[in-house]
Structure 1
Amino acid sequence: MGKENIVFCKSGGCTAKLGPGMLDHVLSKIPKNKDENLLVGFDHADDAAVYRISEDLAVVQTLDFFPPMVEDPYTFGQIAAANALSDIYAMGGTVKTALNIVCFPEQMDLNILGEILLGGNSKVTEAGGTLAGGHSIADSDVKYGMSVMGTIHPDKILTNNGVQDGDMLLLTKPLGVGIVLAASQMKDASKAAYDQAVRSMTTLNKYAAEILSGYEVHGCTDVTGFGFLKHLSEMLGEAQSADIDSSVIPFIEGADHYANEFYLTAAGQRNRNAVGSDVEFLNVPFWMEELLFDPQTSGGLLASVRQEDAQSALKELKELELPCAIVGRITKRREKKITVR
C-alpha cells in the first residue's frame, strides 16, 4: 500500500481515540438508562454493553474502528477486527456476528479496500463468528472496524469493576505497541520489534479468554487506547488499590529504547494527564512509565484473578507463546489508587 494514498500512523489504531477526560465529560451529561435488562451500559466505562433477553441468555454488543497504523491493508484489517472482537472476550462472551464499518476515499484503489475486508473476515472466521454485512461511507481517509455481537449467560459476565482484595493481576500481551509504531513511522524501529508488535496485535484474545474461563476471575478488561494504567484505574472501585511490579511487565523488544528516545504518542500523554495523579511511581524509570501510559492497539486482557488460581492460569497462558505475566495484586484502598514499584 503506497504512502502517496494514505498517511499511515498519523493517528492510527487506538492512538486515534478521544482522550479519557474528554469522554468522561461528555458521557456524564447523558441520562442513564433505567432498563433493568441492560445489565452493563456505559456507567462504568466497561468494554461492551450487555442486554438480557432471557434468564439464561444475554447479548454482548460493541463496536470499534480506527485509521490504519500499518502499511499492509490485509494486516490492518486483521488488527482492526481483532481489536473489535476483543471487547466480547473481555466480557467473557462468545462471538456470534460482526458488521463491517468502512470509511474509504472514492478515488483510492478498491483492491486496497478488498484486502482490508479480507483481513477482517479472516479474524471473524478464526473467532468462530459470521460476517453478516456492514456499512460504508466515502471519506477523505481510510477507517475500518467492526460492530460485533456475542452472547453470554447473564450470571457469567466479566465486568471491569468486580475486583476483590488479594486478587492477582494477569496481563496476557506485552505493552509498547504505540511506542514501537511511533518509532516505525520514523523508520527507527527494528524489524524484530515491528514484527512482534504486529504478531501481538493480530492475535485474538479468544485463546486467553478461554483459559481464563476455567478460573475464578473477578474483573477483566482489554488494554487498548487508554493504556495499562487508565484501564487498571477503571477496574478499581472506591475500596481498592493496586500494587504493580514494573520488573515483570512484559513489553515488546526495543520499546524501552524507543521510549527513552521519545518516540511517544499524544494519546499516551493524554493518558498520563488523565490518570497520572492517581499513580505513585517508586524508583521506576521514565521508559517504564511511558510503557504503562502507552495506548495499545488490540492489546491483551488484564484480568483480576483469585490469588489461589493465578499461578495455574499463568502456566496455561504462557503456552500461548506471547509474553504474559502476573503483574501485580489488588489491595485495600490507600492514598494513591495505583502504586508502581
Structure 2
Amino acid sequence: MGPGDLAQVLGPLQAFWSDVHDPALLVGMVGAPDDGAVYRVSDEVALIQSVDFFTPIVDDARDYGAIAAANALSDIYAMGGEPLFALNIGAFPDNLPRSIISEIFLGAAEVVRDAGAVVAGGHTVVDREPKFGLVVTGRVHPDHLTPMTGAQPGDLLLLTKPLGSGIIATAARNDALRDANHLAEAVASMRRLNRGAARAMQGIATAVTDVTGFGLLGHASEMAAASDVAFTLVAPRLPLLSGVIDYAHAGQIAGGLHRNRDHFRAVRVDANVSAPLADVAWDPQTSGGLLIALPSAQLGAFTQRLVDRGESAELIGHVSRGSGVRLVNAVS
C-alpha cells in the first residue's frame, strides 16, 4: 500500500488507541512512526516485533524466501535489537508446486539461521498470487534502542547498502535487463543482512531507519520529521547498484515510486539533480540498507567498526536545524 493510502487508513486506528497509555509500550501505533513495536518486559529487556511480506520480487524461489527473511529481520536491526525467532506468513495458489513453496521456506530458513534466530512456526492461506514474509520478534535493552526520533543538528547521515533494487527488479520483470550480473548484484544485496552495520552502530547512532518501500527520500522524510530536524542528502554520493541509472532513464520504474513522490511533500529535489538519479532516490527498496544518523566525532569509530565486520557505508548527507529533506547535487 502506498504511503498516502496507508496514512489514511491508519488515522482512525491511531485515534482509537490514542487514549490507551501503557508505560511498557515504548513504541506503538500512536506517536512517531518507527520500524517495529517495542514492549518493555523488564528493566533490561524489551521485545521488538515487526511483520513484513510481499509478492515475489525475483523468479528464483529460494532467493525470494531469503530476501523476504532479510527484509523482515531488518526492522529488528534498525531498532538496535537482535532477532530471537520468526514465524512464516505465506499465501500461495493451489496449483503452485509444493516443491517451490518448500524452496521459499528453505531460503528464508537459511537467512534466519544465519541471523542466529529460528523459524518457530507460521501460517499459510490459499491465494491467487503468491505472498510470503515473516513476523520477527527480537530483543533489545530499553536504553539501547535506536529509534527514528533522535537525529541532532550536526549529525552525519550514512547509508549501508546501494540503491535501486526496485528498478532492477522491474527491469527483470519486463525482460529489459542488459546484463544478468545487474540482477545478481541486486539479489546479493537484498539477501545480505543488516546485522553487521547494526552492531557497528551500537552506542554511536542517534537515529536509524531501514530503507524499504518508501524509498530513501520517503524514509528520510519520516526520520527527519520524527526528529524535528532537516536532512540534506547529496545526490552524487548515493551508493547505486550497477546499471540502475540506465534502467531509470529507460523508464523501468515501479508505480510505488510515483506514490512515494506524490506523498512526501516535505522533500525538495534541486533542479540540477538528474531525473534518473532522483528516481533512484525515490525507488521503493526491498531489504535496503540502514540510514544512520551519528555525531561527526563518531564517524571514524563507526567506519572502523564496519571495516572490522567486512561492511561499508557511504556518507550521503548531514542534519541541520529546520524541517524537511533536500536532495542536492553538490555540497553548498
Query: What band does the TM-score fall into relative to the shorter chain?
Result: over 0.9
| TM-score normalised according to structure 1 size | 0.91
Report 1:165-244 matches (<5 A). Answer: 165-189=153-177, 190-213=179-202, 215-237=203-225, 239-244=228-233
* Residue 314 (structure 1) shift: 3.1
- Could you tell me whether the CA contact under 8 Å between 2:83 and 2:138 is conserved in 1? yes
Query: What's the secondary structure of 2:171's corresponding residue?
Result: helix
Structure 2: stretches of 5+ with no match in the other structure = none
Which amino acid is 1:193 matched to?
Answer: H
Choose which of 244, 258, 263 in structure 2 pairs with 1:269: 258
- Residue in 1 that maps onto 2:276: 287
Residues 200 and 322 of structure 1, relative CA distance in 2, 3 Å threshold: farther
Question: 3-state SS of the aligned residue for 2:206?
Answer: strand
Distance 1:48 1:159 in 2: 9
3-state SS, counterpart of residue 328 of structure 1: strand
- Between 272-281 and 40-49, the greater mean CA deviation after superposition: 272-281
Answer whether contact 2:157 2:292 (CA < 8 A) is retained: yes
Q: CA offset at residue 107 of structure 1? A: 1.9
- Pick aligned residue for 2:102 from 114, 121, 127: 114
* Distance 1:299-1:26 versus aligned 2 partners, 3 A rule: same
Does the 8 Å contact 1:161/1:234 carry over to 2?
no
Pairwise CA distance, 1:175: 0.3
1:28 and 2:7 are equivalent in the alignment: no
Q: Deviations over 1:7-28 (max 9, x none)?
A: xxxxxxxxxxx11111111212
Partner SS for 1:236: helix
In structure 1, the residue matched to 2:301 is: 312
1:103 and 1:208 mapped to 2: Cα distance?
Answer: 32
Q: Which residue of 1 aligns with 2:25?
A: 38
Residues 212 and 313, structure 1, Cα contact 8 Å, conserved in 2: yes
Provide the residue aligned with 2:85 in structure 1: 97
Output one character per residue of 1:258-280: Cα deviation in whole Å (capped at 9) or x when no partner: 11111111000100001145324
Identical amino acids, percent of aligned pairs: 39
Q: Given residue 269 of structure 1, which amino acid in structure 2 is its aligned partner? A: H
Cα distance change, pair 210–160 in 1 and its aligned pair in 2 (3 A): same
Aligned residue among 240, 248, 270 for 2:237: 248
Q: Secondary structure at the match of 1:194?
A: helix
**AA of the residue aligned to 1:304:** A
Q: Please point out which of 249, 254, 257 is paired with 2:246.
A: 257
More off after superposition, 109-118 vs 215-224:
215-224
RMSD after superposition: 1.6
User: Which amino acid counterpart does residue 55 of structure 2 have in structure 1?
Assistant: P
Q: The residue matched to 1:51 in structure 2 has which SS?
A: strand
Residues 313 and 323 (structure 1 numbering): CA distance in 2 closer, same or farther, change over 3 Å? closer
Letter in 2 for 1:187: D
Partner of 2:50: 62
CA shift, 1:324, in A, is 2.9
- Unpaired runs of 5+ residues, structure 1, are 1-17
User: Aligned equivalents of 1:339 and 1:199: distance in 2?
Assistant: 27
1:133 to 102, 121, 126: 121
Q: Distance between the aligned counterparts of 1:315 and 1:322, measured in 2?
A: 10
**Is the Cα contact below 8 Å between 2:51 and 2:72 reproduced in 1?**
yes
1:110-145 Cα offsets, whole Å, 9 max, x none, are 000000000000011000001100011111111110
Alignment partner, residue 316 of structure 2: 327
Q: 1:171 to 1:318 in 2, by over 3 A?
A: farther
In the TM superposition, what whole-angstrom CA distance separates every residue of 1:18-74 from its partner, at most 9, and x where no partner exists?
111111112121123421111001332200000011111110000101110111101
Count matched residues.
Answer: 322
